[in-house]
């Protein structure tokens, strides 16, 4: 005789996916397209399995000056995470762009990236240090469309992998750092990324450089992290999505912008661009105990499902809001199908 516990353990995944939001969120595995685990964390993998989630672990090379950074150990620990996850965690590699003026930079970088593809990496992440922090010998900032990076994009496109691009930042990086700044909590703790008055390239120059990469490599799939840094400008993002069919965006750490903005506008945007938006959290396990980390990630997923699928009054990061109540077809794309198409190899 099976106990209830046995039944729960043996039941196929969809059994677990019943939710408070009716049939619309039932019966399909969901995908979080942007998080940071970077280690073998069985408690996290078990929780992802039990709750019906998979995701993408993105390596970041977050350096700009001449400080040391052990990218190799980050690549190795992320690969180990992916391998131990039972297929729940796919991974994307990265490269150190600081050497962009050195002889052989592109060839060396491409050779290393190809090795990560052999090791199962499904994409390559580039980060905001390109455009905002890395400088050449002349003092000029490295922009995303710098010719030194072109062969690398070409190699990623040829390998059929996805470029995951966190370029630029929310407008708050260029606004005075006071309580009115919606990004005050982040920039007050990370002042090196607060750009106002520092003589760095304007936000639009960075995004336009990214767009020139999109235009030059129309077959390169690009997922722009954090709503492509147009979280304050859904109209501008819409124009970019219209202009560049090879661009999609993730919602990592930006669901709060939908939650505090105009609800009808959010619903209209998510509906019109339902094939181009990938659900994501930007959750970081960091030094947390994996059991506690698993719970925190699950709570985030539950809260976000409640926001996108439910239509009840709720609190999102301390502000009152109301669930968007998106239809099932849109939810399936946002929480699964778009990730499978834009990041081939992700998800179970």
Q: Which stretch binds Zn ion (CB under 5 A): 254-262, 267-275, 278-286, 321-329?
A: 278-286
Work out the burial of residue 348: count CB atoms within 10 Å of its CB; fewer than 13 is exposed, 13-18 middle, 19 or more buried: middle
Name the strand (E) or helix (H) holding 282. none
Residue 299 CB, shortest distance to Zn ion, in Å, is 18
Does 57 engage in binding with Zn ion (CB under 5 A)? no
Backbone angles phi, psi at 282, to 5 degrees: 70, 20
Does 250 engage in binding with Zn ion (CB under 5 A)? no
Closest chain position to Zn ion (CB): 282
Residue 320 CB, shortest distance to Zn ion, in Å, is 27
Does 231 engage in binding with Zn ion (CB under 5 A)? no
The nearer residue to Zn ion, 211 or 282, going by C-beta atoms, is 282
**Measured between alpha carbons, how far is 32 from 332 in angstroms, rounded to an integer?**
13
327: its two tokens = 């239809």
Does 232 engage in binding with Zn ion (CB under 5 A)? no
Residue 60 CB, shortest distance to Zn ion, in Å, is 6
**Measured between alpha carbons, how far is 21 from 309 in angstroms, rounded to an integer?**
6
- Binding residue (CB under 5 A) for Zn ion from 211, 282, 304, 337: 282
Q: Which stretch binds Zn ion (CB under 5 A): 116-124, 269-277, 280-288, 308-316?
A: 280-288
Helix, strand, coil % over all residues of the chain, rounded to 5: 45, 15, 40
Taking a C-beta distance cutoff of 8 angstroms, is the pair 26, 18 a contact?
yes
Does 29 engage in binding with Zn ion (CB under 5 A)? no
The nearer residue to Zn ion, 282 or 337, going by C-beta atoms, is 282
Taking a C-beta distance cutoff of 8 angstroms, is the pair 317, 259 a contact?
yes
The nearer residue to Zn ion, 165 or 309, going by C-beta atoms, is 165
SS3 162: strand
Residues 86-105, interacting with Zn ion (CB under 5 A): none
**Measured between alpha carbons, how far is 81 from 92 in angstroms, rounded to an integer?**
12
CA dist 89 → 58, 178, 341 (Å)? 10, 38, 16
The nearer residue to Zn ion, 285 or 330, going by C-beta atoms, is 285
Q: Which stretch binds Zn ion (CB under 5 A): 134-142, 187-195, 274-282, 327-335?
A: 274-282
31: its two tokens = 């995908």
Q: Which stretch binds Zn ion (CB under 5 A): 69-77, 171-179, 275-283, 326-334?
A: 275-283
The nearer residue to Zn ion, 232 or 282, going by C-beta atoms, is 282
Taking a C-beta distance cutoff of 8 angstroms, is the pair 316, 307 a contact?
yes
Q: Which stretch binds Zn ion (CB under 5 A): 84-92, 141-149, 152-160, 277-285?
A: 277-285
Could you say which DSSP state residue 142 is in?
Answer: P
Query: What dihedral do alpha carbons 105, 110, 115, 117 form, nearest 10°?
Result: 140
Does 169 engage in binding with Zn ion (CB under 5 A)? no
The nearer residue to Zn ion, 63 or 114, going by C-beta atoms, is 63
Q: Which stretch binds Zn ion (CB under 5 A): 173-181, 199-207, 232-240, 276-284?
A: 276-284
Interface residues toward Zn ion, by CB under 5 A: 282
């Amino acid at each position: 005789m099976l106990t209830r516990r046995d039944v729960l353990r043996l039941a196929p995944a969809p059994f677990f996916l019943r939710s408070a939001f009716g049939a619309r969120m039932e019966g399909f595995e969901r995908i979080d397209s942007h998080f940071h685990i970077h280690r073998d964390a069985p408690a996290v993998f078990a929780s992802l399995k039990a709750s019906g989630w998979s995701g993408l672990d993105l390596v970041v090379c977050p350096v700009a000056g001449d400080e040391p950074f052990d990218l190799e150990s980050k690549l190795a620990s992320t690969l180990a995470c992916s391998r131990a996850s039972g297929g729940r965690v796919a991974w994307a590699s990265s490269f150190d762009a600081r050497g962009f003026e050195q002889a052989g930079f592109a060839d060396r970088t491409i050779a290393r990236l190809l090795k990560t593809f052999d090791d199962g990496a499904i994409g390559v992440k580039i980060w905001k240090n390109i455009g905002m922090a890395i400088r050449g010998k002349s003092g000029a900032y490295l922009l995303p469309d710098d010719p030194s990076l072109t062969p690398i994009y070409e190699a990623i496109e040829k390998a059929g992998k996805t470029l995951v691009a966190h370029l630029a930042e929310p407008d708050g990086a260029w606004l005075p750092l006071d309580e009115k700044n919606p990004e005050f909590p982040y920039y007050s703790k990370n002042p090196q990324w607060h750009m106002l008055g520092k003589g760095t390239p304007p936000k639009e120059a960075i995004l336009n450089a990214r767009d020139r990469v999109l235009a030059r490599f129309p077959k390169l799939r690009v997922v722009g992290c954090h709503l492509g840094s147009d979280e304050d400008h859904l109209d501008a993002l819409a124009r970019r999505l219209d202009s560049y069919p090879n661009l999609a965006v993730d919602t990592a750490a930006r669901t709060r912008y939908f939650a505090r903005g105009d609800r009808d506008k959010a619903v209209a945007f998510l509906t019109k661009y339902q094939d181009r938006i990938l659900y994501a959290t930007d959750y970081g396990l960091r030094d947390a105990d994996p059991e506690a980390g698993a719970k925190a990630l699950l709570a985030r997923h539950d809260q976000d499902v409640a926001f996108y699928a439910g239509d009840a009054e709720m609190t999102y990061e301390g502000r009152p809001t109301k669930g968007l109540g998106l239809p099932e077809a849109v939810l399936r794309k946002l929480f699964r199908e778009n990730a499978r198409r834009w990041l081939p190899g992700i998800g179970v």
